[in-house]
Structure 1
Amino acid sequence: MATRTTAAPAAAKKAPATTASTKTKAAAAKNDDVEPEEVVAKAPARKTAAKAPAKAAPAKAGRKPKAVDSDDEDVDDEVVEPDEIEDDDEVEAVVVVAEVEVEADADDEAKDDSDDDDDDDEKSTGKDEELPTGALVLSLVDDEDEVPVYSSAITGATADPVKDYLKQIGKVALLNAAEEVELAMRIEAGLFAEDKLSHMSASEQRSTLGRELQWVAKDGQRAKSHLLGANLRLVVSLAKRYTGRGMQFLDLIQEGNLGLIRAVEKFDYTKGFKFSTYATWWIRQAITRAMADQARTIRIPVHMVEVINKLARVQRQMLQDLGREPTPEELSRELDMTPEKVIEVQKYGREPISLHTPLGEDGDSEFGDLIEDTEAVVPADAVGFTMLQKQLESLLDSLSEREAGVIRMRFGLGDGMPKTLDQIGDTFGVTRERIRQIESKTMAKLRHPSRSQSLRDYLE
């Protein structure tokens, strides 16, 4: 019985690194009347990297894929040793990945079994995608999408997300100038292919030219992913300079990664500069714009943030030169603006502070405990005001009803709304002159020492 007709072709295909040992066991099994299925089933499960389809780039795409050495054509299989798996969750993750790949390989073998010999010749001449050194698990999203996807299923996450992220991106090897140019050329070809495909109908995309353009577009996506992964450490190094300014470190890295993506899309390799030199400016811009939009409790427009930063730089420089804090007039001459504008910009740059900010080593007191409430009533004043009201009421009770009513309405002692002589006259049915005379007579009585002496203490 031939080994190729075994009942587990997918499992045999999943262990290419042990082909020689499997054949030896198969020969021994044949002599001992042992079925090859059992021999193949004993082959250790392995984790394989996704393989790029073996197609040639079209002539209209601008170039053909560059030939590489035979050593680089095949990606070595990464064996999952038992001691590398730390817990049951990681074992289940490996099994799931292996089962998905076994099913995909079984479908492919069933479709291409009749042309197996021709496919082997094509695969030996095609160019495989070289994965980053030390990359994580790579698997296909589906049968139609062959862009490698980084998976963290078996990384063994810890409680520190920053440490996990740095450990993950550190596994991707750095690129030299020649590799950056090669990836940039593939990205450019992929963008060109995507533009052509966007103007093609569905039937044209199914043609030979359309399929070739689709492969070039996917190859450009793979090159873009590789260039991004190899430069993630550059984002981390730049994001460290902006810590402690209102945004979390991981948020700064995320915004910097968006700038890195923009740099990859706009990088022109024909200028002769390294990619890191070009990407640094895009990463810085993305981080600073994010800080201007998100770092402050009260958002300040981007153009005003630039003015605030410029004022801070000039102020620090003048502090070093003069040995003291510069005055608004000195800053205005340096910044070409009025002193009033300088003071206004300085107010914009102040960051709000929470009243619940703890103070001291123990944090027993809060910042709000030290702030005076200007609208709060002092207890001593409140008691004195209450006693004054009672004293006034006792003095008014010593007057006649009309006299007390005129004084209350004239000075607003009841409702806090003083009234005019005409309004009081209309209330009592007399003229305003009569009300004036009553007021004058009553005030003379109140100024008498027998009555005013009790109120003099409240004037001090």
Structure 2
Amino acid sequence: MIEKKPSHLANIELWKQWKEERWVPAKQALIENYLPLVDYVSGRMAIGLPKSVSKEDLASYGAMGLIDAVDKFDYARGLQFETYASWRIRGAIIDGLRQGDWVPRSVREKAKKLEEAYQKLEQLYLRSVTDEEISAYLQISEREFQQMLQDISITTICSIDDPIREEDSETRLSLLVDDKAKNPEYKVNEFFLQESLARAIERLTEKERTVVSLFYYEDLSLSEIAEVMNLSPSRISQLHSKAILRLKGSLSRFKVQLFQDT
């Protein structure tokens, strides 16, 4: 009988039994062992999502990602499965939410309007624009602006299968190229993308850069970031939303400039 919580060595044996012998009970045991990863990732992603999004649905999407990770993971490379699976689980949840069209059309329209406002004003002023300037441009009060940020916070999750821009067929996934491939055009585009991203990040406010760093590099949840920065979770959510809108607007503008110069 297979242990449900084997040691590290037993895990290796399970991977061998599944990958080399295709023994289904070994696969089932691996999935059971790593199910807590699904709860962990789905729990973190549930923070900031509307209450209408069921935690059971998130866990269901995540479980599909875990199964996919077990199928595709190459244990012989010596990598950490937990890290690999976490990204697969997160991607599966995002894709599941996208396919479910869980964001109302009105919210997506607000997000697009704000993104365009950031893009136009920061291109005009060549600096980070203030909340007051965005509010004035949109002809709304600052309180209404803050509420818009809160409303669209659920749209700042993106999938690598989404197009970089709505009118493009190129997806974020297309940018993930094998590092060993010797492709000069890719290297040039990669350098430009890094430069563009660095310039875009420089235009973020100090608090926005801190939120981005803690969320994407330190892997903290929004509630954990709120504790670190001594701010409310809603304020952290707003800072995250503004940072993503600024970055998307800047990267979109830099991409247009690239093609105009070629």
Q: TM-score, normalised by structure 2?
A: 0.42
- Give the greater-gyration-radius structure (CA): 1
User: Which structure has more RCO (C-alpha within 8 Å, separation ≥ 6)?
Assistant: 2
Higher share of residues assigned helix: 2
Q: TM-score, normalised by structure 1?
A: 0.25
